[in-house]
Amino acid sequence: MDHSTGKPGYLRNVLVRLCLFCVVIVGVRFAYVVTLKGETCDLGDFCFFSLPGNLNVISGVGQLAESVSSVMSIEDTGKSAPAKPNGLPDLWANNDFQKSAQFYSSVFQDLIAEGFVGPNSKALGVETPMGADVFALREIGVKDSIGIYKKGSKPLVITGKAVKQPFDDNTFDFVFSGAGMIDKSGKPGEFASEICRTLKPKGFLVVHTGSKDTYSFNSLLHLFNCCTLIKTRDIDGFDTCMREIVMQKVVGDIYRVEEETNKCSVPDYKMKLIKKAEPLIKEEPKKPWITLKKNAQSIKYLPSMVDISFKQRYVYVDVGSRSYGSSIVSWFKKQYPKQNKTFEIYAVEADKTFHGQYKEKKGVKLLPYAAWVRNETLSFEINQDPGHKDVQKRRGMGRIQPVESSGEAASEVDVIQGFDFAEWLKNAVTEKDYVVMKMDVEGTEFDLIPRLIETGAICLIDEVFLECHYNRWQKCCPGERSSKYQNTYEQCLDLFTSLRESGVLVHQWW
């Protein structure tokens, strides 16, 4: 027997068996990882194969699948660290996901070039359903990135709300909110407040919004009172044109009225809006009750000119509201364009005859006092002028005066409490709120309006509907003027004109 030919055959058999054994080991290991653990084989597992960690997945589906191991290899970052995925998500191979990732990749590359975000940044994507922005951040080198959404999608997105983030204060160097998600938020004030809380001082915030008008742009900036504006530009998004806003966090509130001087300034964009308002009626109308009512049809409401979405709260203050159905229901609830916003309503009414109507009205808070220039006891005089008679209630329109000035009979005068309306307003609302005010106070406007201007409270009101009372021609008695009011129509016109020139969007009301 020739033993020289037997040794190679024996060695071959051993090698074959060894290779088969290795194949079995690899197969068992793969089955364990995928079937039992429910995960892909990444660099943290004991694997006989792994893919390069630097493959660019933005270029296509094939490379997207190949780079999964690089996407999942992220350092432990505490709350922001994602868990391992249950297999490669089908979402990542979706065309929409790829388009989004490509778009965000180009956006972030520009931001990296300008120094707003870098490889060492701890980054957060807010309200990101798919996590394409987080994916793009990691792919271009910002590895410590995570997203939040109401429904998590690990490893890119964890469960969390924009208005209640699951992170500590001053956590992130860079925060991004894309796709106009703040536009869609029902609570933009809380949305902004939480970002201010979790963004580090000197950290950068980038927001993409679809809103373009100057009013809404400045309203958005006021929400982020922790930040100062760095730059803004229009960009072509993957589905629509957006405005990109870059801000940096500073210490302190940079938007506020100067409390010491009680002064406020009106920006140019508000002055330009006033120029678009309907013209004032220059000539005294012969039939004011008809002319002013017709004029109301030509009023250019502020929400018909601008987007009011970026406000913390929405407030309607009806000063001299009278009955619940008078102007709150018949006008504000039915006619005022609210852009689907829910308004808090304050009814300021001194006449106790109407107080009972507000007891069970949801969303309406009654202030059963008289709006005045200071806190003091007043007399409430019931007008018996037939030109202003409320036939249904058999109750005349009332006006207020200091108690000592009243000379009416006791049966026609009620003693009521007046309050400093301007100071109340400054405590009730802020510059972040959207405030609408209707004022019908039977001549007291000539006291209240100057007080609002003096205290700076007038700048907290976005839109005013003012009925100015003067010695007008009587509806009941042709050729006769009202003796109730001493002011003239010219004085009313001066009041409206001065308000508009001061930057207040005021309308003539009836």
pLDDT in tens, 125-143: 999 998 999 999 999 999 9
- Would you say residue 344 has pLDDT above 50? yes
pLDDT at 79: 41
pLDDT in tens, 281-296: 999 888 777 887 788 8
Contact 135, 101 (CB under 8 A): yes
**Rounded percentage of the chain residues whose pLDDT exceeds 70:** 74
Burial of 109 (0-12, 13-18, 19+ CB in 10 A): middle
Mean of per-residue pLDDT scores for the chain: 81
Average confidence (pLDDT) over 471-477: 77
First vs last C-alpha separation in the chain = 124
Q: Hey, which of 29-43, 45-59, 94-108, 301-315 has the most confident mean pLDDT?
A: 301-315
Tell me the two tokens of residue 189.
Answer: 């004030």
In Å, the largest CA–CA distance within the chain is 144
- Would you say residue 359 has pLDDT above 80? yes
Give the pLDDT band (50/70/90) at residue 26: low
Q: Which residues pair with 371 in a beta bridge?
A: 419
- Would you say residue 387 has pLDDT above 60? no
pLDDT in tens, 187-246: 999 999 999 999 999 999 999 999 889 999 999 999 999 999 999 999 987 667 899 999
- Would you say residue 51 has pLDDT above 60? no
- What crossing angle do the helices spanning 132-139 and 95-113 adopt, rounded to 10°? 50
pLDDT in tens, 76-127: 344 443 333 444 466 676 788 888 899 999 999 999 999 999 999 999 999 9
Contact 307, 215 (CB under 8 A): yes
Tell which wins on pLDDT, 14 or 136.
Answer: 136
Q: How many CA atoms lie within 13 A of 220 on its CB side?
A: 29
- Would you say residue 178 has pLDDT above 60? yes
By DSSP bridging, strand 376-382 and strand 398-402 are antiparallel
